[in-house]
Amino acid sequence: MRPSVRVKLTALYGGLFLLAGIALVVVNYLLVSGSLPAPGRFAAAAVARQGVVTQQNVPFWRPAGPPGNPAQTMQLVSTSLDDYRESTLSTLLMQSAIALVIAAALAVLLGWVAAGRTLRPLHAITSTARKLEAENMHRRIKLDGPDDELKELADTFDGMLDRLAESFDSQKRFVANASHELRTPLAVQRTLIEVAMADPDVRPEVRKLGEQLLHTNERSERMIEGLLVLARSDRGLTSRVPVRLDEVVASVLRASADLAAEHEITFETELQPRTVAGDPVLLERLVTNLVQNAIHYNEPGGRVYVRVGPNPALVVRNTGPRVRSDAVPALFEPFRRLERDRTSNGAKGAGLGLSIVRSVAQAHDGAVYAQPGESGGLVIGVWLPVTQ
């Protein structure tokens, strides 16, 4: 676990104070040591002064006593001064060290408090950023205080949020308009083609052309619907409700039974009760895309295994041609498919299936992974948060 910025700032403040305190103690020690007299010189001068004073202060009527031993006297004075000097410097070092430790502890404590007050605006910015969602862009920091660098950062962040909110609103309007403007002409074209083909006197070549146009129209409708779902899931969720994922999977499997029978595919299921919080429509699209992909990109007589459990919440595995490991990540990109051996069975798609799966999973604060099956095919798992 990396240390937080507050811990780093506190360590920096305490370290700098400790270095300054050590430098101050060293300077103080050198100054006091230099101001104390040297024992040898001081002892010699003291003995000389004592001898002169003694000779001068003898009364004329009292005979002078025998002079003392100057060497012993100087040694005694020098030893006493050495002891005093060492005691003074040791006391100075001990008291300075104790004062330095106490001051360093106070510096760390005050540094912790000061770092917390300094970083408080950053915590406000982080908290606001975490609460932002595509459908909840109204939050702002609105930091009060002096016009310093932190307030400038908060104001810049608020301005960025304003621009993002305008961009999301514009995207919502575009998706809503595109949903109508793109689907309507395709529906009109399909109706006109079907009406023309319903004429019993239509020529065979016209009927064949109509069938090709219907196929193209159907593919365009699937692509547009996929793009709209992808845009919707990329915007995030407007609301979350409890959804029984196992019931959604069971419903999708029932709806896909005819498609599976057409491709001679057998379902194997293991559905445990699992509730997730999310959008039921998007979750149904996620399951539908995974199941239909597993059917289309399979071999006649193959199997599709579907499991709902704790986590991964959903696993879909199919049999089929082997898939290279380095080709798997490209499957989640829009309009990306594998080589012909994955599409040679007549699979029809817009190349958005797994892109939508990944987008829906991320909109539900989840993730999706894929890996080649041991005996061929593909294994896809979807992780979703556990409902509290």
CATH code, domain with 282? 3.30.565.10
- What pLDDT does residue 250 have? 94
pLDDT band at 246 (very low <50, low <70, confident <90, very high): very high
Find the DSSP H helices in the chain. Answer: 5-35, 39-56, 70-131, 149-197, 204-234, 245-255, 257-262, 280-296, 353-363
- Mean pLDDT to the nearest integer, 353-382: 87
Residues 114 and 228 in one domain: no
pLDDT band at 247 (very low <50, low <70, confident <90, very high): very high
- Mean pLDDT to the nearest integer, 32-39: 70
Residues 166 and 230 in one domain: yes
In-domain check, residue 100: yes
R_g (Cα) of the chain, nearest Å: 43
Least confident piece of the model among 16-25, 230-239, 328-337, 350-359:
230-239
Span between the terminal Cα atoms of the chain, in Å: 27
Please give the residue that has the higher pLDDT: either 305 or 214: 305
Token pair 């845009």 is at which residue?
A: 231
pLDDT band at 238 (very low <50, low <70, confident <90, very high): low
Q: What are phi and psi of 367, to 5 degrees?
A: -155, 165
Our CA angle for 199, 203, 204, nearest 5°, is 110
Nearest to 354 by CA among 327, 336, 375: 336
In residues, how long is the chain?
Answer: 388
In-domain check, residue 140: no
In-domain check, residue 142: no
- What pLDDT does residue 337 have? 60
Under 8 Å between Cβ of 11 and 121: no
β-pairing verdict for 378-383 and 275-278 = unpaired
pLDDT band at 315 (very low <50, low <70, confident <90, very high): very high
335-357 pLDDT per residue, tens:
666 554 444 444 455 567 788 88
- What pLDDT does residue 55 have? 45
Query: What residues have CB less than 8 Å from 319, skipping those under 6 apart?
Result: 298, 299, 302, 303, 304, 373, 375, 376, 377
Largest separation between any pair of C-alpha atoms in the chain: 167
174-197 pLDDT per residue, tens:
766 766 677 778 888 888 888 888
Nearest to 290 by CA among 248, 323, 324: 248
Other beta carbons less than 10 A from residue 332's beta carbon = 18
Please give the share of the chain, as a percent, with pLDDT higher than 90.
15
Distance CA 70, CA 64 (A): 16
In-domain check, residue 332: yes
79-110 pLDDT per residue, tens:
776 777 778 778 888 888 888 888 888 888 88
- Structurally, how many domains does the chain consist of? 3
Residues 252 and 334 in one domain: yes
Residue 381 scores a pLDDT above 60:
yes
- Mean pLDDT to the nearest integer, 300-325: 90
In-domain check, residue 388: no
In-domain check, residue 141: no
Residues 173 and 265 in one domain: no
Under 8 Å between Cβ of 18 and 104: yes
Query: What residues have CB less than 8 Å from 369, skipping those under 6 apart?
Result: 312, 380, 381, 383
The parent domain of residue 347 ranges over 241-383
Q: Average model confidence (pLDDT) for the chain?
A: 77
- What pLDDT does residue 54 have? 45
In-domain check, residue 139: no
Single residue among 87, 105, 131 that ends a domain in this structure = 131
Residues 345 and 360 in one domain: yes
Single residue among 234, 268, 285 that ends a domain in this structure = 234
Give the C-alpha distances (Å, rounded to integers) separating 13 from 105, 109, 150.
11, 10, 20
Least confident piece of the model among 57-66, 126-135, 218-227, 303-312:
57-66
Residues 77 and 14 in one domain: yes
pLDDT band at 71 (very low <50, low <70, confident <90, very high): low
Packing angle, helices 149-197 and 204-234, rounded to 10: 160
- What pLDDT does residue 175 have? 65
Residues 262 and 370 in one domain: yes
**Residue 368 pairs with which residues in a beta bridge?**
382
